[in-house]
Copies of this chain bind each other. A is one copy, B any other.
Amino acid sequence: MELKEFSMRIGDDFHCHLRRGDMLGKVLPFTASMFGRAVVMPNTEPPILDRFDPHLYYKEIHQYKRNQSYSGFSPIMTIQINESTSPSMIEGASLEGVAAGKVYPIGVTTNSANGVRDFGKISEVFKRMQETGMLLLLHGEKPDTFCLHREKEFLNTLLKINKEFPELKIVLEHITTRVAVWAVKELKNVAATITAHHLLLTLDDVVGDLLSPHNFCKPIAKSPKDRLALLEVATSGNPKFFFGSDSAPHLKERKECSSGCAGIFSAPVAVPLLVEIFEKADRLDKLENFVSTFGAVFYDLPLNKDKITLVKKDWIVPESYDGIVPFLSGKKLSWQVK
């Protein structure tokens, strides 16, 4: 008998770019209506660096949230850690309720020109994070290496940090490779987020036929074998792997141009798409844990109380939401939020 309706505990998005200002206003409704919480990335313009930045950013998100009446949604704040971050900044941010610090190796993605070149320089910061219980979120790519090898090449850095700070909770963000799945499985206190789009795409969907800027993101989608490894582990019930959309909106003209920005705006489709993917894999029973339990447990957060219900009803993803082209625009999805 075909399933017509699906309910689960509402999920969290453990990796989300909400941007600031106008763009924040445009994209917030999609995340706020489909998730209980979202871990908000700090590589905004201006970036969220110091203890007072998260507070201002939180207020900004809250203002939009109130105007748009999404009372059930809470952002989880982060700061960006770079070589100027001090242990006392960690202390301060922790007291302000900042849950995690994000590290971007220099130049690996949007707004990461101020990223970390020498991980040795932030060793004291990691130490203080370990003491305060602040999570370390890693964009796991090694700069200046071949694009398909960047994640693999970064794993040595992950290993070193994990060895030096065994109690520091680390999330390797938006993993894309089989070897990263393997590393995360092996290492204690290390978990990983997986996006919806990396469960679906390979490099073929970016450059294999016509060039598809709206499938272009960092880390770039990899081979069919890598995609399969992600799908297998996401649907396996392993609590080290949970959902983070990495929804990353850019205006259409910043994507369809001579130097297109990296980032996929998946917030409008992520939950329906996940239901479709897990249903197709015959693992719908594993979805709630992937989206609504494992991440919260790793972050030491209470589970959400609300439910979300989806109904099986075809819809065509719009070509654009207010100038932003969503993931799978023009494509048919078979589930929608009730």
Contact = CB atoms under 8 A, between A and B. Distances in A.
Contacts of A206: 207
A220 interface: yes
A325 B202 CA distance: 28
Interface string A242-273: 00000000000001111111100000000000
A258 B207 contact: no
Given A146-B223, A202-B146, A325 B258 contact: yes
Contact of A257 (B148, B256, B259): B256
A92 interface: no
Interface stretch (A78-86, A159-167, A209-217, A304-312): A209-217
A5 to B, nearest CB: 33
A179 to B, nearest CB: 17
A259 B223 contact: no
Contact of A148 (B203, B216, B256, B261): B203
Nearest to A149: B223
A204 interface: yes
B207 A216 contact: yes
A147 interface: yes
Nearest to A107: B209
A258 B147 contact: no
Contacts of A202: 146
A147 B325 contact: no
A204 B146 contact: yes
A21 interface: no
A224 interface: yes
Contact of A210 (B146, B203, B212, B261): B261
Contacts of A260: 210-213
Interface string A50-90: 00000000000000000000000000000000000000000
Nearest to A221: B207
A208 interface: yes
A270 to B, nearest CB: 20
Name the residue in A107, A211, A224, A258 with the highest tally of chain B Cβ atoms < 10 Å from its Cβ: A211
Nearest to A210: B259
Given A146-B224, A223-B146, A207 B207 contact: yes
B203 A258 contact: no
A248 B337 CA distance: 45
Interface of A: 107, 146-148, 202-204, 206-214, 216, 220, 223-224, 255-262, 325, 329
Given A207-B216, A258-B329, 13 more contacts: A146-B202, A146-B204, A146-B224, A147-B204, A147-B208, A148-B203, A211-B213, A211-B255, A211-B261, A212-B260, A213-B213, A256-B256, A256-B257
11 contacts: A146-B208, A146-B223, A146-B224, A147-B203, A147-B208, A148-B148, A203-B207, A206-B207, A211-B262, A212-B258, A213-B260
